Amino acid sequence: MNAQIRKRLLAVSAGKANYELQQLTKAKGKTKVHLLVHVTTREEIEKCDMRRFVHDFRPTLELQRLVDLQRKVLFTVHGYDEVDEPLFAIPSVRKYYAKCHEVWPCWSYFSELRSDCLAVIAACVTPNLSIVRHRRRKKVEVAQTQAELIEFFEYGLSVAALLHHKASIGKQQGMMLLRDVSYYLRLPESFGK
């Protein structure tokens, strides 16, 4: 039983409302960053209320909106700034994102990949997560099994294909976009082919 482990350093506050946006807007140069930041409130999380979330990002979105949102959504949470735990260690946040993933596995289409956003969501959804805290750094090391990351990725493949088709993204380009997500998640190279 040789379960390969994928490790990633994530900021302790990664995913909290302002942290990710600040990191992205500190970009070198004067490049414009076009993002939609979707903030889920603590109240929505604690009530496991996904209505607004699912409504805002349903696969039946108007075509232009669907095209405009591809790889441009930063999913984040507001209301846990005083909590010292990283979001993926908070049970209510884990439960919320796990339920979202069950009914809405569209992360690979919508999620922006320059931040820790998708990694935090994958960490929330992964059932067996190991967290190692580094005392002097504001980062934690997250370890997940390769099999669980593959399952997270594969669960959304059919929805990603549907969204690519609806947005008139050709098969080759769609495969390249999914390869980018696979690379981001650090899946085996065979997933990128």
Residue type, 144: Q
For the chain, give the mean pLDDT: 82
Among 18-22, 56-60, 102-106, 166-170, the range scoring the smallest mean pLDDT is 18-22
Q: Which of 22, 9, 35 is nearest to 88 (CA)?
A: 9
Centre a 10 Å sphere on the Cβ of residue 109 and count the other Cβ atoms it contains: 27
Give mean pLDDT, residues 47-60. 85
* Spatial distance between the Cα atoms of 183 and 189, rounded to a whole number of angstroms: 8
Predicted local confidence at residue 58, as pLDDT: 73
* Spatial distance between the Cα atoms of 135 and 104, rounded to a whole number of angstroms: 36
Residue 82 tokens read as 């005083």
Q: Tens digit of pLDDT for each residue in 166-179?
A: 999 999 999 999 99
Confidence of residue 191 (pLDDT cuts 50, 70, 90): low
Q: Are strands 73-78 and 130-133 parallel, antiparallel or unpaired?
A: unpaired
Predicted local confidence at residue 140, as pLDDT: 83
Give mean pLDDT, residues 56-82. 84
The sign one gets for the Cα dihedral 120, 18, 99, 183 is negative
What's the DSSP call for residue 191?
G
Q: Tens digit of pLDDT for each residue in 133-156?
A: 777 667 788 889 999 999 999 999
Residue with tokens 């504001």: 138
Confidence of residue 190 (pLDDT cuts 50, 70, 90): low
Separation in Å, CA 51 to CA 77, 104, 111, 155: 15, 11, 19, 21
Domain range annotation of the chain: 5-187
Residue with tokens 């990949």: 113
Q: Tens digit of pLDDT for each residue in 9-35?
A: 676 554 454 544 455 445 444 444 478
